Structure 1
Amino acid sequence: MSASTERAKLAQRFSGDMRQGVSELARLGYPATVFQRMMADHGAVEAARRLVLDPTPTYGLWRLQELKRLDASVEMWVLLPWYEPLFDQPIRDQAERKLRLLKVDVDRELRQLVARLTSTA
């Protein structure tokens, strides 16, 4: 399989994960309408890239912190090792920086998220 086909499949998987995450957050009372609109306009990977590159934490990131669900943030999912091919290092660095601004122990949270996701796969 070609690299572009692999990347397209990975982007499709990321898109599915983002849609599932939005559904889960809606059940918690946060519909993430801005992100949904961005995904509709640009696709999940580009929407994530744009959100992460915004230099200030978005309302959504603050809201997820209030809900104690930063594990569901785009910033955290951009850092997942299996999505690394979709996001270059400056984007991954910015995602980590934004989480650290919110006092997140990124390494610990990422380990927990990876463990949770791989145990249910």
Structure 2
Amino acid sequence: DPMRPFSEERGAVEQGLLAIRELVVWLKASAAALGDLFSASGGSPRVIPTEAAFAEELMETYRQCERIGYRPTGMLQMLGEHGAIDTARRLMAAPPSEGFHRLALLNRLDLAIESIALREPWRALFTDQELAKAERRLRR
């Protein structure tokens, strides 16, 4: 009850926080089984769009860029400073970067943050406005 003094509600709040902690532990332990549960029938397990999974996707993209002779060190630095999702949001909100133009020249916009954000399961991490901006940028 938000109208009661906190001291009277402290026990209920502590119980709720303990229940949340137990839920988090269970979710972590059950992640693989939950992924199987939500995967497409007959297909491989679906990737759950988490920050860690998205970060791994961006690191794989970095490795693919290296293989074609482009090293997106700015993106790598931003990943370390801001995390994967915030890095993608910052890059998509800013004017097209030098890296975006470089990927366009290499005919590899499939490696651009915008392309990655538009793919499943990553779409769920972004707003409709962010996705619409990514689509517009890729069409130019």
Please state which band the TM-score falls in when normalised by the shorter chain: 0.7 to 0.9
* Alignment correspondent of 1:91: 130
- The range that moved more, 8-17 or 78-87, is 8-17
Give the number of equivalent residue pairs.
98
Describe how 1:1-121 pairs up with structure 2 within 5 A: 10-54=50-94, 56-101=95-140
* Alignment correspondent of 2:39: none
Structure 2: how far apart are the matches of 1:90 and 1:50?
Answer: 13
CA shift, 1:84, in A, is: 1.9
Structure 2: how far apart are the matches of 1:85 and 1:42?
Answer: 19
Structure 1 runs of 4+ aligned residues shifted over 4 Å read none
CA shift, 1:9, in A, is: 5.6
The runs of 5 or more residues in structure 1 that have no matched partner are: 102-121
The runs of 5 or more residues in structure 2 that have no matched partner are: 1-22, 32-47
Structure 1: how far apart are the matches of 2:117 and 2:126?
Answer: 7
Larger Rg: 2
Q: CA RMSD in A?
A: 2.2
CA shift, 1:23, in A, is: 1.2
Change (3 A) 1:9 1:94: closer
Structure 1: how far apart are the matches of 2:50 and 2:84?
Answer: 11
Of the two structures, which has the highest relative contact order with CA contacts closer than 8 Å and spacing of 6 or more? 1
TM norm structure 1: 0.73
Structure 1: how far apart are the matches of 2:65 and 2:99?
Answer: 11
TM norm structure 2: 0.63
CA shift, 1:95, in A, is: 0.8
Structure 1: how far apart are the matches of 2:79 and 2:116?
Answer: 15
Structure 2: how far apart are the matches of 1:9 and 1:28?
Answer: 27
Report % sequence identity: 31
Structure that is richer in helix per residue: 1
The Cα offsets for residues 64-106 of structure 1, whole Å up to 9 and x where unpaired, read as: 01111111110001111311221111111111111112xxxxx
